[in-house]
C-alpha cells in the first residue's frame, strides 16, 4: 500500500501541469459549458416566444406560460397573447428544440460509428434520402392512407440511405474522408435527381410541399407533431446515451473495439437505427436542415473532449440552442417573411464544413 | 509482477485462412503455452499478422481450428474473449482526440461490472508506468510521435490484464531502448504466467527474447522450436533469400543473425 500515494501523485501531476497551461480544469470547462447552454436555452425560449408580428415582453411570456400550465389566473395584458404563444410560438419552439437535439445527437452517433468527425446526416445524404421518401409519398398519393405515411416513407428511405452510405464508404473498419464525402455526393446527387423528377411530375400543391422539404422549415409546427417527435427523441436519445461508452471504443477502429469485447455488428445496427430515427423524424416534420449534426458535436468536442456520454448530452443541448436561435433568425430577419431554416444552416454550415475539411486534412497530412 | 489470472494455452490445428479466395494460411499447426514468449517470424507476406488475427478470433478459419484455453475461439463471445486475450495491432490510430489516460482506460472496458473493475485505476497507472507513458497522461493522441502512440496502444493492451497477449510488431516504431523495454515487458508477463505471442521482424530480438520461434513462409510453417534450432543460416537464407551468418553471442550464447554484406 505504501506505493499507492506515489502512483496517485504521478498520475495527478502531469494533468495538473497541463491544466495550469490551459487555465481551467476539464471539469470546470464542462460545468461552464453546460451552464452557458442552459442560460442560452432559457433566454432563447423567452426571446423567441416574445419576437414576431405580435411582440410580447418577457414577463408576459412568463405569465402566459404559467396560465397555460394552470398555475396562474392573471389576465392577459394584451389581447390574443395566449393564443399566439400557445397555438403558434410555443409548439414551434418545442419543435426547434427537439429537432436541434435530434440532429446534433444523430451527428454525434454517426461520427462515432464511422470513426470520422466529418460524418453528418446532411453531408452523407441521409437527410436527402429521407426527403425523397417524403416527397414520393406526397406525389405518388400514398398520403391517402393517412398523414403518418409521409413520416414512415421518410424514415424508410432515410434508413436505406444510411445503410447504403455505411456499406459503401467503409474499408477495413474505418471510413476515409474522401470515400465518405464522395459517397455523400453520389447519394445527394441521386436523391436530388429523383426529387427533381417528382417535382416535375407533381401537381402544384405537391411541388410546394417538396420545396418545403428541400429547404427545411419549422413553419407550421404544432402540438400533434411535437407529441410524435418527443417520444422518438427520448427513446433514440436514451439508446444513444446507453451506447456512449461503447461508442468511445469505436475510436480504436472496429477491430480494436472488438478486441475489447464490443459486439461490433450489433452496436452498428442499433446505432444506424438510432441515427435513422433521429434524422428521419426531424426531416419528416421540418425537411432538410443540414450541418447541425456537424457543427454542434464538433464545437462541443473542442470544449469538453470526445468522450461520448457527456458529448451526447452537450450536443443535444447545443443543437437545441442552435436551432432555437436559427429559427428565431429565420422568422425575424426579413420582416413579414419566414425564411427556410435549412437554407440558413447551410449558408453557415457549408463554410464551416470546408474549414473542418482543411483542418482534418492538415492534421492527417492528406485526405486520409 | 502479480501472476496472470489463469494460465491459458493457445493452439491452432490444421488452420487455413482465406481472404477473397486467396489462401493466406494453410495447414498451420501452432501452439503457444503459458509462461512462454512465442515469436512469429517470416518474410513480408508470410502470414504472420493473419495468423495473429486468426489466433485473436478476428478471422474465421476456412478449415482447422483455433483453441484458447481448450475452447474454440469461434465459439466464445467477444466479451469472454476480451477477458482472455488482448491484442496489439499494427494500427494505433485513434479517431478522436482522447487524452492518453482515457485511451489506456479503454483497456479496462471488458472488466466493467466485474469485481476486477475495482482495480481499474491501479491497473491503468501500472500499465502506463510499465510502457513509459505516465508523463503523457493528459496529452491527446494527435500530438504524440509514432513511437509514443505505439506505447500508448501497448499500455491499453497491458491494462486489459489478460492471460494471453498477442502483439503484432510491438517494436516497429520504437527506438532502441523502448524496443528492449517492450520485449522485457513481454518476458515479465510470461514470467508471471502469461501466454505471449509476438510478431517480430528483427531476428536478433526474436532470438534474444523468445522461448519459442515459429518461422512462416507463404502461409505455411517452415520450422518451429527453440531459437537455436529454428534460426540456422541455411534455413534463413532459403526463406528470406538473403545469405546470413549465424554466430553465437560471445557472452550469452544466443544466436546472432548477421546478413552477409
pLDDT of residue B52: 97
Share of chain A above pLDDT 70, in %: 89
Q: Which residues of B touch A306 (CB under 8 A)?
A: 96-98
**Contact present, A111 and A104 (Cβ < 8 Å):** no
| All structural domains of chain B with their residue ranges | 10-259
Angle at A92 between CA A87 and CA A96, to 5 degrees: 165
Q: Give me the helix-helix angle, A90-114 and A308-332, nearest 10°.
A: 140
The distance of Cα A106 from the centroid of its chain, to the nearest Å, equals 6
Q: Which residues contact A333 (CB under 8 A, 6 or more apart)?
A: A339
* Closest B-chain CA to A13: B135
Residues in chain B with CB shorter than 8 Å from the CB of A305 are 97-99, 102
> Residue A24: pLDDT above 80?
no
**What's the pLDDT tens digit per position in B92-116?**
888 888 999 999 999 999 999 899 9
Cβ within 8 Å, pair A14-B135? yes
**Closest residue in chain A to residue B135, using alpha carbons only:** A14
**Residue count (chain B):** 261
What is the pLDDT at residue A219? 85
Do A258 and B112 count as a contact with CB atoms less than 8 A apart? Answer: no
Task: DSSP letter for B140, please.
Answer: B
Spell out the domain ranges in chain A.
89-364
Q: Rounded to an integer, what distance in angstroms lies between the CA atom of residue A234 and that of residue B18?
A: 45
State the cell numbers at A345: 444552416
Contact list in A for residue B137 (CB cut-off 8 A) is 11, 14-15
- The CA dihedral of B188, B193, B198, B202, to the nearest 10 degrees, is 40
B-chain residues near A18 (CB < 8 A) = 138-139
CB distance B134–A14 less than 8 Å?
A: yes
pLDDT tens for each residue of B143-180: 899 999 999 999 999 999 999 999 999 999 899 999 99
Q: Across the strands, what pairs with B166?
A: B87, B197
* pTM for this predicted structure: 0.86
Sign, CA dihedral A229-A235-A239-A241, equals positive
B20 inside 8 A of chain A by CB: no
Going by C-alpha positions, the residue among A179, A88, A128, A87 that lies closest to residue A282 is: A128
Q: What is the pLDDT of residues B195-204, one digit of tens each?
A: 999 999 999 9
> Per-residue pLDDT tens for A212-232?
778 888 887 889 889 989 999
The most distant pair of C-alpha atoms in chain A lies apart, rounded to whole Å, by 81
DSSP string of B152-210, one letter each residue: HHHHHHHHT--SEEEEESTTTT--HHHHHHHHHHHHHHHHTT-EEEEE-S-HHHHHHH-
- For residue B112, the chain A residues in CB contact (below 8 A) are 245
- pLDDT of res. A151: 78
pLDDT, chain B, mean: 93
pLDDT value of residue A211: 82
Any chain B CB within 8 A of the CB of A299? Answer: no
Q: How far is B133 from chain A (nearest CA, A)?
A: 11
> Contact A10/B134, CB-based, under 8 Å?
yes
Give the pLDDT mean for B75-84. Answer: 94
Give the domain A89-364 fold: ABC transporter involved in vitamin B12 uptake, BtuC (1.10.3470)
pLDDT at A186 over 60: yes
Start-end of H helices in A69-116: 81-83, 90-114
Phi (first) and psi of residue B195, to 5 degrees: -95, 120
Q: Which of A21-30, A105-114, A282-291, B59-68 has the lowest mean pLDDT?
A: A21-30
Residue B214 has pLDDT above 50, yes or no: yes
- Å from A79 to nearest chain B CA? 53
pLDDT at residue A3 in the model: 38
Q: Is A248 on the interface with B (CB under 8 A)?
A: yes
Residues paired with residue B259 on neighbouring β-strands, in sequence order: B244
Neighboring chain A residues of B93 at a CB cutoff of 8 Å = 174, 253
Counting other chains too, the contacts that B249-258 makes at CB distance below 8 Å and 24 or more residues apart are B252/B208, B254/B207, B254/B208, B254/B227, B255/B207, B255/B227, B255/B228, B255/B231, B256/B204, B256/B207, B257/B203, B257/B204, B257/B207, B257/B231
What would the grid cell of residue B184 be? 522485457
- Angle separating helix axes A148-169 and A264-286, nearest 10 degrees: 140
Inter-chain CB proximity A253 and B95 less than 8 Å: yes
A27, A87, A182, B189 from A96: Cα distances, Å: 29, 15, 30, 56
Neighbour-count burial for A308-347, b at 16+ CB within 10 Å, e otherwise: bebbbbbbbbbbbbbbbbbbbbbbbeeeeeebbbbbbbbe
Reported as a single tens digit per residue, the pLDDT across A89-113 is 999 999 999 999 999 999 999 999 8
Candidates B138, B142, B162, partner chain A, best to mutate (most A CBs within 10 A): B138
d(CA A272, CA A277): 9
What is the reported pLDDT for B93?
Answer: 86
Among A255, A260, A263, select the one facing B106 at the smallest CB separation: A260
Q: How far apart are alpha carbons A172 and B48 in whole angstroms?
A: 18
pLDDT value of residue A173: 58
Q: Is the dihedral of CA B189, B190, B194, B195 positive or negative?
A: positive
Angle between helices A90-114 and A264-286 in degrees, nearest 10? 150
Residue A134, pLDDT score? 87
Please tell me which residue, B5 or B195, carries the higher pLDDT value.
B195
pLDDT tens per residue across span A194-213: 988 998 898 888 888 888 77
CATH H superfamily, domain B10-259 = P-loop containing nucleotide triphosphate hydrolases (3.40.50.300)
- B 57-86: CB under 8 A from A: 58, 77-83, 86
Cβ–Cβ contact A245 with B under 8 A:
yes
Amino acid at each position: 500500500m505504501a506505493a499507492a500515494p506515489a502512483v496517485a501523485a504521478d498520475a495527478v501531476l502531469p494533468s495538473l501541469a497541463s491544466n495550469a497551461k490551459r487555465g481551467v480544469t476539464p471539469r470546470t470547462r464542462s460545468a461552464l459549458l453546460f451552464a452557458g447552454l442552459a442560460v442560452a436555452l432559457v433566454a432563447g425560449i423567452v426571446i423567441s416566444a416574445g419576437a414576431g408580428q405580435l411582440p410580447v415582453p418577457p414577463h408576459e411570456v412568463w405569465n402566459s406560460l404559467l396560465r397555460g400550465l394552470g398555475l396562474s389566473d392573471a389576465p392577459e395584458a394584451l389581447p390574443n397573447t395566449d393564443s399566439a404563444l400557445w397555438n403558434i410560438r410555443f409548439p414551434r419552439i418545442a419543435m426547434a428544440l427537439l429537432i436541434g437535439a435530434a440532429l446534433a445527437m444523430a451527428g454525434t452517433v454517426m461520427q462515432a460509428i464511422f470513426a470520422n468527425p466529418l460524418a453528418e446526416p446532411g453531408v452523407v445524404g441521409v437527410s436527402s434520402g429521407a426527403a425523397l421518401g417524403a416527397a414520393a409519398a406526397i406525389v405518388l398519393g400514398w398520403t391517402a392512407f393517412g398523414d403518418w405515411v409521409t413520416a414512415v416513407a421518410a424514415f424508410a428511405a432515410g434508413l436505406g440511405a444510411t445503410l447504403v452510405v455505411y456499406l459503401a464508404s467503409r474499408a477495413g473498419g474505418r471510413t476515409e474522408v474522401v470515400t465518405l464525402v464522395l459517397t455523400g455526393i453520389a447519394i445527394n446527387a441521386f436523391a436530388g435527381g429523383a426529387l427533381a423528377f417528382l417535382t416535375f411530375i407533381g401537381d402544384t400543391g405537391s411541388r410546394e410541399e417538396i420545396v418545403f422539404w428541400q429547404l427545411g422549415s419549422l413553419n407550421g409546427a404544432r402540438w400533434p407533431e411535437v407529441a410524435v417527435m418527443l417520444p422518438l427523441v427520448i427513446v433514440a436519445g436514451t439508446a444513444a446515451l446507453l451506447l456512449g461508452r461503447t461508442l468511445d471504443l469505436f475510436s480504436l477502429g472496429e477491430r480494436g473495439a472488438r478486441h475489447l469485447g464490443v459486439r461490433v455488428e450489433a452496436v452498428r445496427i442499433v446505432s444506424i437505427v438510432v441515427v435513422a430515427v433521429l434524422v428521419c423524424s426531424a426531416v419528416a416534420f421540418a425537411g432538410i436542415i443540414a450541418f447541425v449534426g456537424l457543427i454542434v458535436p464538433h464545437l462541443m468536442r473542442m470544449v469538453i473532449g470526445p468522450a461520448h456520454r457527456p458529448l451526447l448530452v452537450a450536443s443535444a443541448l447545443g443543437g437545441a440552442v442552435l436551432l432555437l436561435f436559427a429559427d428565431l433568425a429565420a422568422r425575424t430577419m426579413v420582416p413579414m417573411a419566414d425564411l427556410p431554416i435549412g437554407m440558413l444552416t447551410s449558408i453557415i454550415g457549408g463554410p464551416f464544413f470546408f474549414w473542418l475539411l482543411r483542418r482534418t486534412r492538415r492534421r492527417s497530412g492528406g485526405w486520409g | 509482477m502479480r501472476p496472470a489470472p489463469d494460465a491459458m494455452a493457445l493452439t491452432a490445428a490444421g488452420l487455413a485462412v482465406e481472404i477473397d479466395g486467396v489462401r493466406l494460411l494453410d495447414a498451420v499447426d501452432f501452439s503457444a503455452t503459458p509462461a512462454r514468449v512465442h515469436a512469429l517470424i517470416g518474410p513480408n507476406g508470410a502470414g504472420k499478422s493473419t495468423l495473429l488475427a486468426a489466433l485473436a478470433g478476428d478471422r474465421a478459419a476456412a478449415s482447422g481450428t483455433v483453441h484458447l484455453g481448450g475452447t474454440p475461439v469461434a465459439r466464445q463471445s467477444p466479451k469472454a474473449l476480451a477477458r482472455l486475450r488482448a491484442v496489439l495491432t499494427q494500427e494505433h490510430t485513434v479517431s478522436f482526440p482522447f487524452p492518453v489516460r482515457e485511451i489506456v482506460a479503454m483497456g479496462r472496458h471488458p472488466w466493467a461490472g466485474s469485481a476486477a473493475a475495482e482495480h481499474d485505476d491501479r491497473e491503468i497507472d501500472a500499465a502506463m508506468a510499465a510502457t513509459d507513458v505516465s508523463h503523457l497522461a493528459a496529452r491527446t493522441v494527435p500530438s504524440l510521435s509514432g513511437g509514443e502512440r505505439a506505447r500508448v496502444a501497448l499500455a491499453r493492451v497491458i491494462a486489459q490484464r489478460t492471460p494471453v497477449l498477442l502483439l503484432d510488431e510491438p517494436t516497429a516504431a520504437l527506438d532502441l531502448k523502448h524496443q528492449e523495454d517492450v520485449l522485457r515487458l513481454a518476458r515479465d508477463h510470461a514470467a508471471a504466467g502469461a501466454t505471449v505471442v509476438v510478431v517480430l521482424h528483427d531476428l536478433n530480438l526474436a532470438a534474444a527474447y523468445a522461448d519459442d520461434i515459429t518461422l512462416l513462409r507463404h502461409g505455411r510453417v517452415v520450422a518451429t522450436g527453440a531459437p537455436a534450432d529454428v534460426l540456422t543460416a541455411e534455413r534463413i537464407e532459403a526463406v528470406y533469400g538473403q545469405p546470413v551468418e549465424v554466430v553465437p553471442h560471445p557472452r550469452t550464447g544466443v544466436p546472432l543473425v548477421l546478413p552477409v554484406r
